[in-house]
Amino acid sequence: MSVRVISVLENILQANDQIAAENRARLDAAGVYAINLMSSPGAGKTALIEQTLRALAPQVRIGMINGDTTAASLDAERGAQAGAMAVHVNTGGNCHLEAHMVRQALAALDLSALDLLIVENVGNLVCPSGWDLGVHARVVMASVTEGDDKPYKYPAMYRVADALVLNKIDLLPYLPFNLDYYLQGVRLLKPDVQIFQVSCRTGEGIGAWADWLRAHIRSGQNA
């Protein structure tokens, strides 16, 4: 008897890509520019969303989809408090968001009232990189407290980045973080990636990040 081998992961990823394409078409039709924000836990994703709202709202109307592994909607509440139209997605323990979860969240948002949608992925530097959610740009966030070796240890995440936000630079004077070594690792994996060095605590660097977003929202272009 011969054995039939079914590539389950391939089928799942194909189905995901199909839904992602539908999500993107829906966002395009509504004129909403969307980003997938990915990082390890605690790098500052929600803090960046809060700072982005401070920099761009109310001229830019901002929505937030927050993916977390539990029902606790603390981050979505922070986003709403800062002025975002926010939806919390409980992934039920899943370590990353998938396109069908974003499709459900999109249904809960009034896209006609938005210009920018920030999807805060589950804090994880591995799994989220392989899943297209149907957004326009993938933004990887890192913080200097995590160490300067991260591009070398998590290349898959850095390879998919359209933009990179390096956060907590206010702490650089206190840490053995070699910025040149870190940036060299990033450039090896993604030579043309846009890099923003920021502090969500002091607001340093947020202006350049906000300008980049503004340019993409206006032009409706992919990163």
Q: Which is nearer to ligand GTP, 22 or 170 (CB)?
A: 170
Burial 89-117 (b: 16+ CB within 10 A, else e): bebeeeebbbbbbbbebbeebebeebbbb
Q: 118: closest CA among 209, 12, 15, 18?
A: 209
Size of the site for Mg ion (CB under 5 A): 3
Asked if 116 is part of the footprint of ligand GTP (rule: CB under 6 A), the reply reads no
DSSP string computed for 38-96: E-STTSSHHHHHHHHHHHHTTTS-EEEEEEESSS--HHHHHHHHTT-EEEEEE-TT-SS
199 touching ligand GTP, by CB under 6 A: yes
123 binds ligand GTP (CB under 6 A): yes
How near is the Cβ of 38 to Mg ion at its closest, in Å? Answer: 11
Helices (H) and strands (E) in the chain, counts: 8, 7
State in angstroms the smallest separation of the CB of 78 from Mg ion: 8
Looking only at residues 73 through 92 of this chain, which bind ligand GTP when binding is defined by CB under 6 A?
A: 75
Among 23, 52, 129, 167, the residue binding ligand GTP under the rule CB under 6 A is 167
Interaction between residue 52 and Mg ion (CB under 5 A): no
Which of ligand GTP, Mg ion, none does residue 167 bind (CB under 5 to 8 Å by kind)?
ligand GTP
- Which residues here bind ligand GTP, judged by CB under 6 A? 39, 41-47, 75, 123, 167-168, 170-171, 199-201
- Which residues here bind Mg ion, judged by CB under 5 A? 45-46, 75
